[in-house]
Structure 1
């Protein structure tokens, strides 16, 4: 506790802590702090523990650590894991020729695999086995959508992937792999998807018409954000592993693959996945692109272009 003398003033050295009473010294006492002087004084007073570091480095107080991974970008400079992309087999709704993308019903048995879809998925699982996908173990990341999770269970069974409670290699994904929401096309004939792809070819930002039943109307750019977030998680969580991504629809996978190989997102439908199709992520697998006539033909003397 601080005590004062009989005169009411603090004993030395405390008087130095009090403001000056001489008007000439007041301005000096309350002068603005010079940040450069403050930094200089701090640098001089750095404890010996820190003085062994290079003060001219971008982060002089940091201890050398292993090279950190930055934010995931598309297309990536490199991938830390190897990836297989799998579209689940035909669903019950697809067998009826109906578009079903409302996430409210994604865990319903009606969104599960049809009999044909189960056979397609078995073939996909056998293909993964032939490709050696799980020879050194693998992680299976399916959408929680019924047909995708059923497909993951079939893949695990055929490839001998552990499903024990203490060592389960099936990791359900709850939102990033939802089927692309097609808005007002919900419940329409599957052939209506061609209209969506026509819009996609013009701009990745065009959304399908909205609807008020809770079905999202997602553009290519919207799905791109989701699958990029998924890849960011996978590349951070695993290293030198094999990951099998199981999607309930084609668009998640085509947009993801287009991003990984640096393909124009307007062309994502060129990479279309059929039900039960398996594809290894190969950065060199960009399909041949035929330019439209408008991109090849040049009018050198408008308006006369003969």
Structure 2
């Protein structure tokens, strides 16, 4: 059966009329002159399939489907942790997104000095020669750090692109308001499983596992790799975990070991594309890694 695109009914496929000498051997029900509507319908069907085939093939090579570790990176990336915040200066954990734009969540005096050193380090290695894009979290300390980096490297504010959710500091749940030393307990849990969440709390602070953060930073990279090509991008995070989990994903390190890549306040790291392994498909079609690089 073929669908007649000019009405909602279906019509049987009709054989072309046989030579007159043989028509007496054909049932009359199968003999009907071809009409222009059927010829047009078959022509349209052929044209559509011919047009779509190259599009289908090109979709398979699209850059928007980002995976970790990536097959390749089309941009150059620098990862920067903002300098020490006022809360960190007091030794207090503050990850509630409600307070992320608060002035109290800005850089401390020491944090400003750390960020200036980071900005000058980027200038020394020529990170923004020509131009660069700066992607900071909208968190107060990260955005302040972005402005310092831009000023030191001669970049206008039009090249600062605030990120509103994917770069939020990792939500530590019930650890909110506790001392910074408590983070060691979180990292101890991370080494057991990337899916363990900190205990929850009812004040609106998220309790995020390593896997939760991994999803966020992968989404961010997907946007950056799709939106830019051949550019330099400086990612500015308010905390270490965004960056250590992102870097672990990029280089194929087990996410449970992300804390081995931890960033100090004001630290700068260049993402070396040569250190990113080529993604290998599983040897067996039966076994599939659904969450690379952690395939357990």
Show the counterpart of 1:275: 265
Deviation at 1:50, TM superposition (A): 2.7
TM-score, length of structure 1 as denominator length? 0.74
Deviation at 1:60, TM superposition (A): 3.2
The question of whether the paired residues in 2 share the 8 Å contact of 1:106 and 1:145 is answered with yes
**2:101 matched to 1:111?**
no
**2:116 matched to 1:122?**
yes
Change (3 A) 1:162 1:214: same
Deviation at 1:46, TM superposition (A): 1.3
Report the Cα distance in structure 2 between the residues aligned to 1:97 and 1:91, rounded to whole angstroms.
10
Deviation at 1:64, TM superposition (A): 8.4
Show the counterpart of 1:144: 138
Report SS of the residue matched to 2:186.
helix
Report the Cα distance in structure 2 between the residues aligned to 1:145 and 1:176, rounded to whole angstroms.
11
Once the two structures are superposed, the pairs formed by residues 15-30 of structure 1 within 5 Å of their partners are: none
Show the counterpart of 1:243: 233
Match of 1:173 among 145, 151, 163: 163
Show the counterpart of 1:60: 53
Deviation at 1:34, TM superposition (A): 7.0
Show the counterpart of 2:173: 183
Change (3 A) 1:85 1:62: closer
Once the two structures are superposed, the pairs formed by residues 252-271 of structure 1 within 5 Å of their partners are: 252-271=242-261
Report SS of the residue matched to 1:60.
helix
Change (3 A) 1:169 1:46: same
Show the counterpart of 1:83: 77
Show the counterpart of 1:303: none
RMSD: 2.8
Report the Cα distance in structure 2 between the residues aligned to 1:226 and 1:179, rounded to whole angstroms.
11
Which 5+ residue runs of structure 1 have no aligned equivalent? 1-29, 287-306
The question of whether the paired residues in 2 share the 8 Å contact of 1:224 and 1:255 is answered with yes
Show the counterpart of 1:302: none
Match of 2:128 among 134, 148, 167: 134
Report the Cα distance in structure 1 between the residues aligned to 2:204 and 2:56, rounded to whole angstroms.
50
Report the Cα distance in structure 2 between the residues aligned to 1:48 and 1:202, rounded to whole angstroms.
56
Change (3 A) 1:200 1:54: same
**2:201 matched to 1:211?**
yes
Deviations 1:134-189 (A, max 9, x none): 002000000000000000000000000012xxxx0000000000000000000001
Report the Cα distance in structure 2 between the residues aligned to 1:212 and 1:75, rounded to whole angstroms.
35
TM-score, length of structure 2 as denominator length? 0.76
Which 5+ residue runs of structure 2 have no aligned equivalent? 1-8, 16-37, 277-296
Deviation at 1:33, TM superposition (A): 6.7
Number of aligned positions between the proteins: 245
Show the counterpart of 2:88: 94
Change (3 A) 1:216 1:46: same
Report SS of the residue matched to 1:46.
helix
The question of whether the paired residues in 2 share the 8 Å contact of 1:125 and 1:155 is answered with yes
The question of whether the paired residues in 2 share the 8 Å contact of 1:125 and 1:154 is answered with yes
